[in-house]
Amino acid sequence: MSKKILRVYRTKEEAKTSYDRISRFYDYFEGPFERDVRGRALEQLNVKEGETVLEVGFGTGHCLEDMARRVGKTGKAYGIDISSGMLEITRERLEKAGLTERVELYRGDAMSMPYENEMFDAVFMSFALELFDTPEIPVVLKEIKRVLKPNGRLGVVSMSKEDGESILLKLYEWLHKNFPKYADCRPIYVEQSIKDAGYSIRSKEKTKLFGLLGEIVVAKP
C-alpha cells in the first residue's frame, strides 16, 4: 500500500491482556459510540436466513447476536476473537438470548483461522481491522478471502485515515504513538486496504466516529 499508516505498538499478548481486563466494562465506554455505525454496517452486509456467517473480533457479541438472529434456525454464525474475556461475555449474552445453538465461538488469531475454504456466505469485522499491525492487514484479508465463498461478501466498519489533515486525527495518532496501551487502534485506509487485497468494492459509506472519520465497506472476493 502506497499510503502510509501507523504501526501497532503493542504485542498480541498485551492486546489479549488488555481486552480480557476491560471486557466487563467495554460496553460502557465504547459501546454507545459504536452501536449506530455497527448497525448500519450490518444492514449493508444484509445477512440472510439460512446463511453461514463469521464475525472476526466479535468483542462483547452485540453484532454476533444480531447475525445469529438473522441467519435463523437454518443458518449458523461463527465468531473468532483473541480475548477469552470477550468470549465469556459473548457466551453469556448468547445464552441469555437463547441463541447458543446457532453460534460457535473460537478464541484465536484471525491471521490463521480454523475454518474450511469457502465456508462462509459473509464475514463481518467491526472496529477490528484497525487493531492489526500494518503488515498483518493484508494477511488477515487474504485469510478471510480463503474462508469466503466465491460469491460471498465482506463487511468492514473501521476508523479511517481518509481525512488525513484533520487536527483531531493527528491528535489521535499522537496518542496512539505515545500511549499505545490506551489508544491501541489507529485509523487506516479501509477501502484501499480491501482493494489492495484483491476484493471488489460493492458499497462504501463515510461516517463520523466521536469526531473522527469512519468507513463502512462491503466487498466481494
Write down the pLDDT at residue 29. Answer: 64
Write down the pLDDT at residue 30. Answer: 65
Q: Where are the domains of the chain?
A: 12-220
Write down the pLDDT at residue 33. Answer: 65
Stretch 183-212: mean pLDDT? 92
Write down the pLDDT at residue 31. Answer: 58
Looking at the predicted structure, is the pLDDT value of residue 185 above 90? Answer: no
Looking at the predicted structure, is the pLDDT value of residue 198 above 60? Answer: yes
The more confident residue out of 46 and 35 is: 46
Write down the pLDDT at residue 2. Answer: 47
Instruction: Kindly report which listed range (91-105, 145-159, 180-194) carries the lowest average pLDDT score.
Output: 180-194
Q: Could you please report the per-residue DSSP string of the chain?
A: --S--PPP-S-HHHHHHHHHHHTTTHHHHTHHHHHHHHHHHHHHHT--TT-EEEEES-TTSHHHHHHHHHH-TT-EEEEEES-HHHHHHHHHHHHHHT-GGGEEEEES-TTS----TT-EEEEEEES-GGGS-GGGHHHHHHHHHHHEEEEEEEEEEEEB-SSTT-HHHHHHHHHHHH-TTTS----B-HHHHHHHTT-EEEEEEEEEETTEEEEEEEEE-
Stretch 97-116: mean pLDDT? 97
Stretch 99-107: mean pLDDT? 98
Looking at the predicted structure, is the pLDDT value of residue 1 above 80? Answer: no
pLDDT-derived band at 32, boundaries 50, 70, 90: low
Q: Taking the domain 12-220, which CATH number applies?
A: 3.40.50.150
Stretch 78-101: mean pLDDT? 97
* Model confidence pLDDT, tens digit, residues 170-183: 898 999 999 887 78
* Angle (nearest 5°) at CA 130 between 124 and 136: 95
Write down the pLDDT at residue 20. Answer: 84
